Each structure stands twice: as structure tokens, then as C-alpha cells.
């Protein structure tokens, strides 16, 4: 898995609140362009965010599904973006103080043509994207307070 870590100047609860808002997904996930629907109960296990990925008019419509959730601590997702493939994205939150959270994002391509990309190349492509995603997540979490 490609690991990206960042300390965010917001509580774990504030960070999780952003993750728990499926409508905010396109605001912090780099590449997500539009949210079409969020299943009721998001972020419960099995719930989905229906999104569009990529620039118009080449957008791909797909879904991201919750595999596991621990309120305030963990969101484990299956993110689809066919025809590229499917990735598992695990976001873990560890409180680092009253208003700081260590966030670990782990991503692994699990299906589709993207699996053929060597891990070192995946890391070179995904890590900068995930750093930007965590920066956006941090900005939103700090702004909600």
C-alpha cells in the first residue's frame, strides 16, 4: 500500500466529520469532480458515494463504497474509477492532542488495469495526489470549527 501521513491542526472528531459528509467528497478527493448521490447512512458499512471522476467531458461515473468504519478513527473505502480500476483507501485518524490529528492514508490498486503499474510508479503517482487530498481535508476540517 502507498502510505501518506500528515498531522492536521484539527481534532480527530472534526476530521472525521468531513469524512462522514459524503457530499464533501469532491472537495477533498483529488480527481473527484461531482457528487451525484450519497446513500443514506453514509459512512455506514456498505454505503456509497456516487461520483464523477476526471475532467468534463471525459468524466467517468462510478462509486466509492465503505468497507469498514470506526467512528472518529477509521474509514476504509473501495474507490472505483473504471476503466482504470478499483483502489482500497484506508484513512486512519490518531489524536495527537486536543486540536491535532495524525492522519494516515493508505491506498492500493486492487483491480483493473491499474494493478499492472509497478508499485514504485504507483507511489510516484499516488503520493503527491494523496498529499494534496490530505491538505484539502485539513483545510475543510479546520474551517468547520
Domain boundaries, the chain: 2-144
- Determine if the pTM surpasses 0.85: yes
State pLDDT tens for residues 50-89: 999 988 888 889 999 999 999 999 999 999 987 789 999 9
The CATH code that applies to domain 2-144 is 3.30.530.20
Give the separation between CA 5 and CA 123, rounded to whole angstroms: 13
Amino acid at each position: 500500500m502507498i502510505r501518506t501521513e500528515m498531522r492536521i491542526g484539527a481534532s480527530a472528531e472534526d476530521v472525521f466529520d468531513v469524512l462522514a459528509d459524503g457530499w464533501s467528497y469532491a472537495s477533498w478527493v483529488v480527481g473527484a469532480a461531482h457528487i451525484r448521490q450519497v446513500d443514506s447512512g453514509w459512512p455506514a458499512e456498505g454505503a456509497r458515494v456516487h461520483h464523477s471522476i476526471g475532467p468534463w467531458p471525459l468524466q467517468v461515473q462510478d462509486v466509492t463504497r465503505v468497507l469498514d468504519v470506526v467512528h472518529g478513527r477509521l474509514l476504509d473505502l473501495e474507490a472505483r474509477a473504471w476503466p482504470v480500476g478499483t483502489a482500497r483507501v484506508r484513512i486512519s485518524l490518531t489524536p495527537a492532542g486536543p486540536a491535532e490529528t495524525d492522519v494516515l492514508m493508505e491506498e492500493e490498486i486492487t483491480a483493473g488495469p491499474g494493478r499492472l503499474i509497478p508499485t514504485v510508479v504507483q507511489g510516484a503517482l499516488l503520493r503527491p495526489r494523496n498529499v494534496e487530498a490530505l491538505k484539502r481535508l485539513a483545510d475543510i476540517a479546520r474551517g468547520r470549527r
